[in-house]
A and B are shown apart, each in its own frame.
Chain A
Amino acid sequence: MHIPDGFLNPAVSVSTTAISAAILAGSLRKVNQQVEPQQIPLMGVLASFVFLIQLFSFPVGAGTSVHLSGALLISIILGPLSGFIIITIALIAMALLFQHGGIFSLGANALNIAGVGCFLGYGTYRLIPGDRVSIVIAGLITGLVSSALLALELYASDMLDLSAGLLSMLSIYGSAGLIEGLATLMIVLFIRKVKPEIMGSMV
Chain B
Amino acid sequence: MKRFKLCYFAILNLITWTTLLAHGHDEHHHFHWDDAIIGLLLITLIFIIWSIYLKRKKSK
CA A44 to CA B11, docked complex, whole Å: 16
Pick from A49, A55, A89, A195: contact of B46, CB under 8 Å: A89
Classify chain B: how many residues form its interface, as a range. 35 or more
Q: How many residues of A contact B (CB 8 A)?
A: 31
Most buried by A among B38, B44, B50, B55: B50
Q: Is A94 engaged at the interface, CB distance under 8 Å to the other chain?
A: yes
List residues of B (1-43) whose CB comes within 8 Å of A's CBs.
Answer: 1, 3-4, 7-8, 11-12, 15-16, 18-19, 22-23, 26, 28-29, 31-32, 35-36, 38-40, 42-43
Which residues of A line the B interface, CB within 8 A?
32, 35-37, 40-41, 43-45, 47-49, 51-53, 55-57, 59, 65, 89-90, 93-94, 96-98, 190-191, 194-195
Which residues of B line the A interface, CB within 8 A?
1, 3-4, 7-8, 11-12, 15-16, 18-19, 22-23, 26, 28-29, 31-32, 35-36, 38-40, 42-44, 46-48, 50-52, 54-55, 57-58
